[in-house]
Amino acid sequence: MRRKLLLSFIVGYVIFIAFIYFYLFYFDTGAIPAEFKGSSVDPETFLTAEELVKSEEYSKIRNFLFFLEVPLEWLFYLLLLFFGIGKLFEKWAEQTTRMKFVHNALFTFCLSFLSFVFFYPLKFLRYSLSKKYGISTQSFHDWMRDLLINFWLDWLLLFIVVSALYWLIRKSEKRWWLYTWFLAIPFAVFLMFIQPVIIDPLFNDFYEIKNKELEERILMLADTAGIPSEHVYEVNMSEKTNALNAYVTGIGTNSRIVLYDTTLERLSEDEIVFIMAHEMAHYVEKHIYFGMAGYLVLLLGLMFIIAKLANKIVNKYGRLLNVSSMKKLSSFPLILLIVSVLTFATSPISNAVSRHIEMRADIYALQLTNDQEAAVSTFQKLSQVSLSQVNPPILVKWFRYGHPTMLERIQRAEQFRD
């Protein structure tokens, strides 16, 4: 039975990948509609012939890898369940010590390490691809360093989540999902608070911006927007990427205005000010808090569905999946599988909400700066440097884009001028 189900999944996976390949490379190539030819939206007006080719190639390959990885993650969890690997990890942890928190630490470490090894080839392929197309400037040594730091952070987070989750499941089999959701609220806020001052500096160096005239201009803009900030921070991303970015991060006293040094090097002051106005909009319009509230509402629904589905699956197919009870750590790969499927299924909704929020931020930036020319040139340069498609295929937009497409953003800026 296990072999038959696994074979069926693999066959379905191959068919899905064949469909995605045909869709991305032959059916919907993301071409610009005829009415936009020669306009500021047309990439032929702001990209060289070489950049056009690289943009199309890189975007298609990167999108293909995304759709390749999602079902691969499901396959990974199915393999853990069908071959009883989670059960073996749990048994080994129990034989090692009687302390529950050590059980959790050992189990989550084994699971994290196996996941790291399983997905490493795909991560390395992405890294190699970004190097080939000039997006990444990071050496392999530094890339591995960041990957390992991320591994330990992910393991620590997973250990905390599993410890709390299974303590609650053992205390209340019926309402653990609700209690888990309650705990998630302060935990999520805590992570947002510490990220700018503890987590982010593990990967990059942050320092006050060197261009004090530009800092003064940005701080004046922040003051106009009602954002309390004494400094603008610069981060040395040029050691890792050619990508351009800026953001306002953190909450409360730990909020920060941050600019990539690549952004400072490649954009004009007017373009930088427009980007910062966009990021400030998220603070002014409370997008961080609305986003957090929306995330928690979605999480509540997902937790309820996960609890109901997991219990039914364990009761009906527990033996097939090598899971005897939800109280056992061996049920965790099943929870991860359900989470992954539901997250993918709901991503078009969450991405649509995110695109609306980003659209609001673009409008706010246009109103605050009243500089449509800087907006258009900024979007063009962002597309140029990231080698992203101006008009991506609709499935890519639904499942990958948390921002409006560049076609939509440039067009909106042009229309704002009118």
Residue 317 to residue 88: CA distance in whole angstroms: 18
Residue 311 to residue 331: CA distance in whole angstroms: 10
Residue 69 to residue 90: CA distance in whole angstroms: 27
Q: Where are the alpha helices (DSSP H) in 202-286?
A: 212-225, 261-266, 269-284
Instruction: State the DSSP code for 233.
Output: E
Count of CB atoms within 10 A of residue 21's CB? 15
SS3 content of the chain, % helix, strand, coil (to 5): 75, 5, 20
Catalytic residue among 279, 285, 373, 408: 279
Residue 100 to residue 94: CA distance in whole angstroms: 8
To the query of whether residue 279 is one of the catalytic residues in this protein, the response is yes
Sequence-distant contacts of 130-136: CB under 8 A, at least 24 apart? 130/241, 133/54, 133/57, 133/58, 133/387, 134/54, 134/242, 134/387, 135/58, 135/241, 135/242, 135/243, 135/386, 135/387, 136/240, 136/241, 136/242
Residue 406 to residue 140: CA distance in whole angstroms: 31
Enzyme catalytic residues: 279
